Structure 1
């Protein structure tokens, strides 16, 4: 019991640390501090303690936090593999360690050698995967862990269960497009919201095409999550894990779309940086919830639904 409390505490620290890394990574990109330490890694401009500039402070702080969280995650990994009887916990901590190392290596390569925007956009995606795995690991040691292991008796049709995983995978595509917008510095490609440069369908060229593609993808994500929620609502009880996950997914995708509008409307104002960080925080929460949604859906029982059955409306 004592060891389980330690694993829970370390998994919580790992999850919070990964969340902080996501936010700090977004801050590095938005403040253009990625070159704050020059071409040196792991040193910063050839020094262990670099000269104080805003860019070097932001970049080096990000590196420091990654290192500390990596040590915490390593300790968590050792304890989980030695003392946990849950196979899924070992998968989660293993996945977290793999993507943490991957994003650290990609970050180092981005410093040492110039990388394309398409490659740099993967960095946020890998960090997001690390956070998702640490979130699932922490939930194993909470009251939600049982639903992730054996389910709670909820019955979902095969189509709904497959749809959950489609939405999860598609959400990652939307995340990548958002990261690509940031790394190509295309955020100003669409001025105004919901119209893009005063047009319903703008020209698909340059930064305008990149931003508009992300907007359309985000809108589709919102619609499919709404549809998924309605189908889950027609088959699951309100107190079930999958219903709660579907409801939270709908809430957070709505907030995410609203924060995207906030980012666009704040361009040119001092609040723009805050709006951008809020956008990164909300997509992290949404993706984490969708991952939990996907795992719990795997442990639901088969529910046969007539082809003509429609979800009941709110």
Structure 2
């Protein structure tokens, strides 16, 4: 129980950090602490105002997350009954360490877009592992229930699709390609005519495919009354439609900070829901169909 509660707490904190990181990027506060790391403007506690306050707040949340994650790691190592739990804990600690290193690289090299985008994707993988610990009540590994194999495969594909969409979306954002196209077309044409337009179009196409895929899966699980997935997929469908609407408003508002942050918040929440749904299919105590 302690392990699951701690995993849930760290997962929520990770989600908050992801969203707050989106705010740091959207408000262009990433260099609020200057080129210093782990210090901020050469101090342990800087003058807290403007961009410095925002970036320092992000680092404080990250530090708290690191401490709780280490505590979770120690708890897992002491209480784990299965080797799989220990292996995933090692991966969790490795990803956390990699995040710290990449955070320093981002500061030292003045916010390179590729590194920032990778930073986000690693955070999503880390969040996925935390959700696994939260949902893994019995620690008894993955169950192979034949009647659900098809749904597991579809959710696996959907996870990869969402992962790709978020990755290229983050790169487009940090390269400032967000306004390369209008909300529907690129310049005078529907087809892209430059690299920024191409990347933006790929992001949108991937998002559109994700919507269609979620719509199809939702229709199937509702029609067949797959109870374990029905409410989760209906919620996922609602969120991704809302995200598309927010994405359009973000473009129309010329990348409003509020809508840009809401866009990443919805994307991360959608990803977490699909991850939780996929993990829930793997445990016998969840198979209430």
CA distance in 2, matches of 1:265, 1:290: 29
1:181 aligns with 2:182: no
- Note the residue ranges of structure 2 that are not aligned, 5 or more in a row: 285-289
**Alpha-carbon contact 1:164-1:297 (below 8 Å) kept:** no
Residue number in structure 1 paired with 2:184: 194
What SS is found at the alignment partner of 1:38? coil
Give per-residue Cα distances to partners, 1:117-164, cap 9 Å, x unaligned: 2232111111122222222322334xxx7998558x7823x5443222
Residue number in structure 2 paired with 1:125: 121
Residue number in structure 2 paired with 1:228: 217
1:252 aligns with 2:242: no
**Alpha-carbon contact 1:168-1:287 (below 8 Å) kept:** yes
Could you say if the C-alpha distance between residues 72 and 170 of structure 1 is closer, same or farther in structure 2, counting changes exceeding 3 Å? same
Give 1:88 shift. Answer: 5.5
**Alpha-carbon contact 1:93-1:137 (below 8 Å) kept:** no
CA distance in 2, matches of 1:137, 1:262: 36
- Note the residue ranges of structure 1 that are not aligned, 5 or more in a row: 301-314
CA distance in 2, matches of 1:288, 1:136: 10
Residue number in structure 2 paired with 1:291: 275
TM-score, normalised via structure 2 length: 0.87
Could you say if the C-alpha distance between residues 295 and 87 of structure 1 is closer, same or farther in structure 2, counting changes exceeding 3 Å? farther
The count of corresponding residues between Structure 1 and Structure 2 is 284
TM-score, normalised via structure 1 length: 0.80
Give 1:41 shift. Answer: 0.7
- Quick one: which of 146, 168, 171 aligns to 2:159? 168
Give the aligned CA root-mean-square deviation in angstroms: 2.7
- Quick one: which of 124, 129, 132 aligns to 1:136? 132
1:215 aligns with 2:204: yes
Give per-residue Cα distances to partners, 1:85-109, cap 9 Å, x unaligned: 3655545544433322222211111
